[in-house]
């Protein structure tokens, strides 16, 4: 509230002004009153009022003399002069002393209210102009400091201290990337990026700048906040995040926030700003609901690693697709997430840029869905429902959101397909081999899928089937090869279809289990049986 002092030698006038006028309506409160100019001068020195209502004609020091004395030291205080005389000379002298209003006694309440409304509006306009001027100067000063040009701008030490909230005070830079929330939609009524930016900046100014907690400044495409505390402290970070979430969330906005290291001096602000910029520049990789001060340890390690040669990268992509495909086939939700996380790790090593990672994931999912489609009827429902997942990848705001999104989508596909199994592991393993004998199957791959040690799983498998894993796989393949040769397919075609990339190797395996090479069998088909164990 703005303070008012009433100075009038008539007690009735002083009491009447106190009680009859609605001062609070215009943001004023009566802080004191005086019966003469001398007492009014003392109250001015003691209370530093924003407005003084002064009678001109008083014994001793009159109102005009009081104005003259106060104006020697205070050019800001506003004066509303009361006079019992419609005398132009009084008005002229009062105007010369810099009064803001002149009223005749007896005071009319409505006229007094109009004067107070006018004076309050003038004071607010002046304060707003001063705030804008101060804010502009602070922005210029901060821009110079953040970009290393403070000395060139001729900035004095007092201004630098004021910028950071006082000498030796710990402060820091917080940057926010703001957008409209998903609930706001993308229709005609959704706010544009510029509107979201403006709305957020106004709220931040009200929440932090006005209360003296910090200073909001433009840092396009981000919004900057110079905080007069260390935003890196865990408790401060949590409090800030909660305040921002509540305030911006109520406006239909989402945000990603990053804080630079604490600064103990104006010079340190440049490093704090640069650190926050680096983090937000990689905001796709920032995960979790918090004020970010660093990338995750795993992400930092992956970014520090050298990219693999093209051949190794292609092999890693193929392996990721295979593991994801197998996990989906088994209905293993945990395995799906493990495969997605592993795929993400090699993608980040190769190229951590948002668009590159999303494109790699889209390609991976497309390959896997294609393999499921090739399986036939069992895979088709998953493919039909899963294709929109590919386009949805590009809508995810962060890497962690992308992993969660794809994992959740595949969970739904697994549930819809009913592909989870409660069969014993070895039984599942045999069914898996029957479905995927044409793939490049390895015991190590299955051990990883079923979460067993490969050596131990190999022993269990042999005890259950009577054959080693590789022998069992060969028998399944040769048994299928016999069927295909009987259908008239060529030897090299059969070799490819049952999982042998090398035709000579297929010849040797076929002869081992059938007793003749596949070409001879094709020319003169005969009864041949290759037994496999395990009760598939």
Per-residue pLDDT at 380: 45
Alpha-carbon separation of residue 344 from 104, 315, 411 (angstroms): 81, 14, 18
Per-residue pLDDT at 162: 66
Per-residue pLDDT at 413: 81
Query: Cα–Cα distance between 480 and 526 in angstroms, integer?
Result: 15
**pTM recorded for the entire structure:** 0.62
Long-range contacts of 137-145 (CB under 8 A, 24+ apart): 138/163, 138/215, 138/217, 139/217, 139/218, 142/215, 142/217, 142/226, 142/269, 143/217, 145/266, 145/267, 145/269, 145/270
Query: Cα–Cα distance between 359 and 232 in angstroms, integer?
Result: 34
Secondary structure of residue 309 in the 3-state scheme: coil
Per-residue pLDDT at 166: 60
Alpha-carbon separation of residue 57 from 66, 323, 492 (angstroms): 11, 97, 120
Length, in residues, of the chain: 536
Per-residue pLDDT at 377: 39
Per-residue pLDDT at 157: 61
Per-residue pLDDT at 447: 87
Domains and CATH numbers, the chain: 2-123 (3.40.50.2300), 166-294 (3.30.70), 304-417 (no CATH), 425-523 (1.10.10.60)
Per-residue pLDDT at 90: 66
Per-residue pLDDT at 439: 87
Per-residue pLDDT at 223: 94
DSSP labels for 259-272? E---BSSHHHHHHH
Q: Are 31 and 3 a contacting pair, CB within 8 Å?
A: yes
Start-to-end C-alpha separation, the chain? 86
Query: Cα–Cα distance between 415 and 382 in angstroms, integer?
Result: 10
Task: For the chain, list residues with pLDDT below 50.
Answer: 150-152, 183-184, 377, 379-381, 536
Per-residue pLDDT at 279: 92
Phi then psi dihedrals of residue 170, to 5 deg: -80, 130
Q: How far is CA 17 from the centre of its chain?
A: 55
Rg (CA), the chain: 40
Long-range contacts of 523-531 (CB under 8 A, 24+ apart): 525/485, 525/486, 528/482, 530/475, 530/478, 530/479, 530/482, 531/475
Per-residue pLDDT at 152: 40
pLDDT digits (tens, 9 = 90+) for 124-148: 988 887 777 677 777 777 877 787 6
């Amino acid at each position: 509230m703005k303070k008012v002092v009433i100075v009038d030698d008539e007690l009735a006038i002083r009491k009447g002004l106190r009680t009859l006028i609605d001062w609070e309506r215009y943001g004023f409160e009566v802080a004191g009153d005086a019966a003469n100019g001398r007492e009014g001068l003392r109250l001015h020195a003691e209370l530093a009022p924003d407005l003084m209502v002064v009678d001109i004609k008083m014994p001793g020091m009159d109102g005009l003399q009081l104005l003259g004395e106060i104006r020697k030291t205070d050019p800001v205080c506003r004066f509303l002069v009361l006079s019992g005389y419609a005398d132009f000379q009084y008005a002229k002298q009062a105007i010369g002393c810099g009064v803001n209003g002149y009223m005749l006694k007896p005071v009319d309440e409505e006229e007094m209210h109009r004067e107070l409304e006018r004076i309050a509006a003038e004071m607010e306009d002046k304060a707003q102009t001063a705030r804008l001027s101060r804010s502009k100067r602070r922005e210029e000063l901060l821009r110079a400091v953040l970009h290393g040009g403070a000395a060139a701008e001729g900035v004095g030490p007092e201004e630098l201290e004021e910028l950071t909230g006082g000498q030796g005070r710990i402060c820091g830079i917080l940057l926010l990337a703001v957008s409209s929330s998903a609930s706001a939609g993308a229709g005609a009524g959704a706010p544009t990026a510029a509107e979201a930016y403006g709305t957020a900046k106004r709220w931040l100014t009200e929440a932090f700048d006005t209360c003296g907690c910090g200073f909001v400044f433009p840092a396009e495409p981000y919004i900057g906040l110079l905080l007069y505390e260390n935003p890196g402290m865990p408790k401060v970070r949590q409090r800030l995040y909660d305040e921002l979430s509540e305030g911006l969330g109520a406006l239909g906005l989402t945000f990603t926030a990053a804080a630079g290291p604490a600064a103990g001096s104006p010079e340190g602000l440049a490093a704090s700003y640069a650190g926050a910029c680096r983090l937000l520049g990689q905001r796709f990789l920032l995960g979790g609901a918090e004020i970010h001060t660093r990338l995750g340890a795993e992400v930092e390690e992956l970014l520090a690693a050298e990219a693999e040669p093209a051949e190794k990268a292609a092999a890693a992509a193929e392996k990721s697709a295979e593991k994801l495909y197998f996990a989906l086939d088994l209905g293993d939700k945990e395995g799906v997430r493990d495969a997605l996380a592993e795929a993400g790790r090699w993608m980040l090593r190769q190229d951590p840029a948002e668009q590159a990672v999303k494109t790699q994931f889209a390609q991976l999912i497309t390959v896997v869905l294609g393999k499921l489609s090739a399986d036939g009827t069992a895979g088709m429902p998953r493919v039909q429902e899963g294709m929109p997942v590919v386009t949805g990848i590009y809508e995810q705001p962060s890497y962690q959101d992308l992993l969660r999104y794809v994992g959740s989508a595949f969970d739904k596909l697994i549930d819809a397909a009913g592909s989870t199994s409660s069969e014993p592991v070895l039984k599942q393993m045999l069914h898996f081999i029957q479905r995927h004998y044409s793939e490049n199957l390895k015991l190590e791959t299955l051990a990883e899928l079923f979460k067993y040690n490969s050596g131990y799983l190999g022993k269990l498998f042999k005890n259950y089937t009577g054959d080693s894993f590789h022998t069992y796989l060969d028998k399944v393949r040769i048994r299928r090869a016999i069927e295909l040769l009987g259908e008239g397919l060529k030897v090299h075609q059969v070799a490819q279809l049952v999982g042998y990339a090398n035709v000579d190797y297929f010849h040797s395996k076929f002869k081992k289990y059938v007793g003749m090479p596949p070409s001879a069998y094709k020319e003169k088909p005969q009864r041949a049986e290759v037994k496999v164990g395990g009760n598939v």
